[in-house]
Amino acid sequence: MLAEYWPVLLFIGVAAGLGVVLLAIGLLAGPRRPEAEKLAPYECGFEAFEDARMRFDVRYYLLAILFIIFDLEIAFLFPWAVVFQQLGVIALIEMGLFLLLLVIGFAYVWKKGALEWE
């Protein structure tokens, strides 16, 4: 029974070995010229004026999470649209329910004011 797992173990070993070899090549062959500008933190082209640990507005994270959620849900439409003709009426009803739930969720988020940035 252990012989059935050899291809998987071989694949994991080759992937790990390739990763280690590529990292070692990068460390050995890569240029090492540390300068003050290279070692300084990047601050978007201007000098830092506040503490790096300043608090961000929670609305930014909420908006980002909502964007990801709605963007990924819309991405489910592409594979469905490709095989639409082979699926039949039941799949059309299921996708209609999915889109209905998506619209209800979007209306709820909009009504709660999560998309406002003031």
DSSP state letter for 76: T
Residue 87 or residue 118, greater confidence: 87
Burial of 62 (0-12, 13-18, 19+ CB in 10 A): middle
pLDDT tens-digit series, residues 62-103: 888 888 888 888 888 888 888 888 888 888 899 899 889 989
**Whole-model pTM over 0.85:** no
> What pLDDT does residue 44 have?
62
> What pLDDT does residue 70 have?
82
Name all domains of the chain by residue range, CATH numbers in brackets.
2-112 (1.20.58)
- The SS3 call for residue 113 is coil
Alpha helices in the chain (DSSP H): 6-29, 36-39, 58-75, 77-82, 84-87, 89-112
> What pLDDT does residue 46 have?
57
* 48-64 average pLDDT score: 73
- Yes or no: say if 102 and 51 are a contact pair by the CB < 8 Å rule: no
Check pLDDT > 70 for residue 34: yes
Give dist(CA 87, CA 85) in Å, integer: 6
